[in-house]
Amino acid sequence: MKRRINVFHYDFMNIKTFYRTCSLLLKFDNVPDFFSKIEIKKLKTISNNSFYLSHNIEYADELSALMYYVIEMIKGFFLFDSMLYNHTISLIESNLPLLQKAYQYIGIVDASISIASLKKGTQGCEPVISLKKELVLKNAYHPLVNNCIKNSITIKDSSIVITGSNMSGKTTFLKTIGINVILSQTINYSFCDYIENPYSNVFTSIVKEDNIEQGNSYFMDELLRANQIFKVLDSTSLPQIILFDEIFKGTNSKDRIALASALLLYLSKMNCIVIVTTHDLDIIDLVYEKYATYFFDNSLFDNILYFDYKIKHGIQSKTNVLELVKSLNFPPAIISDTIKLKQTVKLPIIK
């Protein structure tokens, strides 16, 4: 019972704040018709009652405390708080349509202020939305990455496969595309100099995890996401955007290469734009006729890895695993054995 009373206490305090917000909005022009002074006055009684029910008395001395307890005893005897509470609830129920409209309007105003502040404080543009199977981004960046390197890309008539060494920027680039396409269709703003994208859903398989409660493995999570994509592609004629990060890395190399290649070839026939990253160059050999290739590069200078985080056309065949483990001071025996074993390891032949 005490917990329920505390919940009502908190809600009544919010109603007081809600009324003050409505009163302030009345000072501006172009407010909705239902936001008239006559309608807002109906909220005043609710606000006053709510304030009384939620107000905590702070007394300065013993005499004030004694008077407070006497008044509370009288109120309790006549059930004053209970009657006031029921009266307030009745007022809320009778004015519920007005309250709902006002809450929605305040939410719109609050969201609009946030979007306006975002646009003022960042560099971006208004998008061009189309129904074409094309995606164009110029100098796009991720807003949550400090000093993010901007990248540009144009995808028309085909999807793309991105290769590159670890930490070179592949995943961040996928997230950059995803967030800019989503924001272009929600707040009409994107973090780039120019963006043209179709009106579409954005499907991602970037952050993948197992689920012990549902009994799903890491690989099963990837399969379930792919299955969701199939269902949507079969139910709409609009082009869709699909982002795969290191596709099917949750299974062995032979099955991964075969399944990923088959999936990408299937999607190439559908009305969608696929952007996939991978370390498996064998996948590119199997899908190169349908997918353009891009890569992120790195360089080594004085045993220090440098990344420019710029996307380039082509295929990245270099790796940086040895450089990374050396920089972390792995035991020399592991490093030397890695070099030897790397010469003997052969990828399975896909049949």
CA 8 → CA 44, 52, 103, distances in Å? 18, 12, 18
Q: Identify the helix (H) or strand (E) that includes residue 155.
A: strand 151-156
CA 297 → CA 79, 166, 309, 317, 321, distances in Å? 76, 10, 7, 9, 14
Given pLDDT bands bounded at 50, 70 and 90, which one contains residue 350? very low
pLDDT per residue as tens digits for the range 235-246: 888 889 999 998
- Kindly list the strands in the beta sheet with 202-205, ordered across the sheet, starting from the edge strand earlier in the chain: 202-205, 240-245, 272-277, 159-164, 291-301, 304-313
pLDDT per residue as tens digits for the range 298-337: 777 776 778 889 999 998 766 667 777 776 777 778 877 7
Beta carbons of 175 and 206 less than 8 angstroms apart? yes
Give the CA dihedral 101, 106, 110, 113, nearest 10 degrees: 100
Round the average pLDDT of the chain to a whole number and report it: 81
Q: Residue 74: what pLDDT?
A: 79
User: For residue 248, how many other CB atoms are within 10 A of its CB?
Assistant: 26
Joined tokens for residue 217: 């493995």
How many Å separate Cα 235 from the centre of its chain? Answer: 24
pTM for the whole thing?
Answer: 0.76
Q: How many residues does the chain have?
A: 351
pLDDT at 38 over 60: no
Given pLDDT bands bounded at 50, 70 and 90, which one contains residue 4? very low
pLDDT at 3 over 50: no
Backbone angles phi, psi at 272, to 5 degrees: -155, 160
Q: Identify the helix (H) or strand (E) that includes residue 344.
A: helix 332-344
pLDDT per residue as tens digits for the range 76-109: 777 777 787 787 778 778 878 877 888 888 888 8
- Kindly list the strands in the beta sheet with 194-198, ordered across the sheet, starting from the edge strand earlier in the chain: 128-130, 194-198, 134-140, 151-156
Can you list the domains of the chain with their CATH numbers? Answer: 2-121 (no CATH), 128-344 (3.40.50.300)
pLDDT per residue as tens digits for the range 106-122: 888 889 999 999 999 99
